[in-house]
Structures are given as structure tokens and as C-alpha cells.
Amino acid sequence: MTSKKVGAQLSGDMIRALDWVPAIIWVSDSAGHCLMVNQAWREFTGRKLEESIGDGWLTAMHPEDAAVWPELIGRAIDSVESFTVECRLRRRDGRFRWLHKTGEPFYDEKGELLGFIGCCMDVTGHKQALDGLRQASEKHRSVLSNLKDAVDVIEDYLHTEEPGQAHRRDDRLTPRQREILHLIARGYATREIAIQLHVSVKTVESHRAQLMQRLNIHDVAGLTRFAIRIGLVPAD
């Protein structure tokens, strides 16, 4: 399509008026082919009007975005509705920038669809800020998760047994495991231990299994005898 063809479909006054608009403006026909891009678009991309009309403007888009343009404009044509999309456009320095692109249908005096007219706004800075916030949020969640793990470890190793008890320690067991062993030996059921320690039943069961494995003890009675032997609970 030539610039003469563009002039045949768009009035000279309209072309001149759009060239004065500082925003990036584009006009397509009813099939989604470019009829005109204004001076702001040409300055942004560094491309001439002749290079942009028809399907030429797609060469300035990122290949991934250019590939979905026919489907996007096809839906807009079928529904004859306005649309918005974010796409990447190659700036004259060769760098791709994110643009928020809008399109509105326009009609002739008989109400027939002539095409779409729209504008583009550079939103690269906004998207970069959002990406930065997203990355910071993910990092924050990771730090909190690691901090929680660290607190659990500290609590595990700094936890003290009941006041007044001078227990002989077994290096094979962590403080948390000794605490659970103490409650097992005192006759608490698994669910009661979980309530006492504010942990899940599954956590208690896991600790009990580790206890039995480390001590080579295979029943609760054996665990109770071991707890008595190391002074964790008094013998009746």
C-alpha cells in the first residue's frame, strides 16, 4: 500500500491533524492493515510512513507480539469493539519498549466499519517498577520463610525443660525431641502433645519416629524406660 492510497482513504486534514498530536497514533483499515502512523510513531520507531503502512508496521513489533496481532485484530473486527493490549515496539535505538495500545472502531456516514484508530503509551517504566516490586515481594517471602526456619531451629536448641529439672542430656537427641520424649513418658497422647507444643499431630509423629530410630527403641514403653533412666521423668 502506498502513501497515495493512504491519502485516498484518509483526508489530508486528518493526516495533518494526527501528525500534530504528541501521542503515538495509528490508523488501520477494517482488515487491520495499517493506513497511517503519525509523526510521533515515526519518530519513536525511526521508520518512514511508507515502511509502516500495510503490514509493514508489524516489523517494528517484537516477533512474539506481531505473531498474535492478526488474531487480536480479528477478534476486534468480528465484535466491532474497542480493545487494549500491551505489546513491545522497537524504538529507533534498537531497544524494545512496552506500549499500552488501545484501538477504537470508526465508521463512515452509513455506519459501515472503516477501521480502527488508536494510540500507544510507553509503559516500560511502569512494568519495570511492577517487576521490581514483584521480585522484592518474592525475596521478602523467601526471607520470611528462612527466618521462620531459623527461629524454629533456635527454639529447638534453646528450649529449656521444666524449671527445677536437672536432666542428663543425650547428644543423640535435640531439645525438641527430649521435650516430646518427656511428654510421651508422662503419658500424653500424640494429639495432646501437639496441643501442648502448638504443632501438628504429623510433626509429633515424625519426632516420635525419629526418637525410636535414633535410640533403637520400638515402643512407647521402651521410650518411657529410657526417659526414666536419663532422669527426664522420675520413676514411680
Q: Could you read off the pLDDT of 89-133 as tens digits, one per residue?
A: 999 999 999 998 888 888 888 888 888 888 888 888 877 777 767
Q: Which of the four CATH numbers 3.40.190.10, 1.10.10.10, 3.60.20.10, 3.40.50.300 does domain 157-236 have?
A: 1.10.10.10
Confidence of residue 151 (pLDDT cuts 50, 70, 90): low
Topology of the domain comprising 3-123 = Beta-Lactamase (3.30.450)
DSSP string covering 73-105, please? HHHHHHHT--EEEEEEEE-TTS-EEEEEEEEEE
pTM, rounded to two decimals: 0.48
Confidence of residue 8 (pLDDT cuts 50, 70, 90): very low
Average pLDDT of 138-149?
63
